[in-house]
């Protein structure tokens, strides 16, 4: 009986470690499958191996705080239905994600940044970029401090908006 109880506890704990947002999982499963689309689901082992190839110590330290990454990228076309994006946003709000920013970039693409917090830590970061010719969804799961958000340097359209966030969480205007 003790072994069964112990096994159940381990399984419950393990499922919490890789608990991807249901809204994101559903969105990924329902998004159009296209040849030129990039879909990545990167686990902690692949991220830790990838850290070995990063030369900058700051980037390596930052990557150490990320446990899981999900990327969906459509370049040269955007087959994502706006109603699916609305459903994703509603699902993320139900899961206690908070929208940090909503902007238009220089190409008139809509950029949204959402986070989910647990105490003083950000456990999830979602970056959405919607344009007529492209769509990007990036979800990072980990344990980040708010002040570390503008240290993120990604080669993904729209990620430069993270640099414009204030250092202190208290400076973000609540809507």
Sketch the domain layout of the chain as residue ranges: 21-171
Contact between 27 and 61 (Cβ < 8 Å): no
Higher pLDDT among residues 165 and 67, named by residue: 67
Q: What is the pTM of this model?
A: 0.75
pLDDT in tens, 75-84: 888 888 888 9
pLDDT in tens, 90-133: 999 999 999 988 888 777 788 898 999 998 899 999 999 998 88
Contact between 105 and 161 (Cβ < 8 Å): yes
- CA nearest neighbour of 97 among 78, 80, 117: 117
pLDDT at 161 over 70: no
Q: Which long-range contacts (CB under 8 A, 24 or more apart) does 164-167 make?
A: 164/101, 165/100, 165/101, 165/113
The pair of structure tokens assigned to 21 is: 């947002």
The pair of structure tokens assigned to 134 is: 């492209």
- CA nearest neighbour of 90 among 27, 135, 162, 159: 27
pLDDT in tens, 23-52: 999 888 888 887 778 888 999 899 888 888
pLDDT at 88 over 90: yes
Q: Which residues contact 112 (CB under 8 A, 6 or more apart)?
A: 89, 99, 101, 102, 126, 127, 128, 129, 130
Average pLDDT score over residue span 136-162: 72
19 confidence band (pLDDT: 50, 70, 90): low
């Amino acid at each position: 009986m003790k072994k069964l109880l112990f096994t159940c506890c381990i399984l419950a704990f393990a499922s919490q470690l890789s608990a991807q947002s249901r809204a994101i999982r559903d969105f990924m499963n329902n998004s159009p499958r296209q040849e030129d689309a990039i879909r990545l689901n990167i686990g902690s082992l692949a991220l830790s191996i990838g850290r070995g190839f990063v030369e900058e110590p700051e980037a390596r330290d930052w990557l150490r705080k990320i446990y899981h990454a999900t990327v969906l990228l459509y370049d040269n076309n955007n087959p994502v239905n706006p109603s699916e994006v609305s459903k994703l946003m509603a699902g993320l709000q139900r899961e206690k994600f908070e929208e940090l920013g909503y902007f238009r970039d220089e190409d008139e693409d809509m950029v949204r940044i959402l986070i989910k917090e647990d105490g003083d830590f950000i456990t999830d970061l979602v970056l959405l970029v919607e344009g007529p010719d492209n769509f990007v969804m990036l979800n990072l799961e980990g344990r980040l401090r708010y002040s570390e958000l503008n240290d993120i340097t990604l080669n993904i359209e729209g990620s430069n908006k993270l640099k414009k966030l204030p250092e202190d969480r208290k400076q973000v205007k609540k809507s």
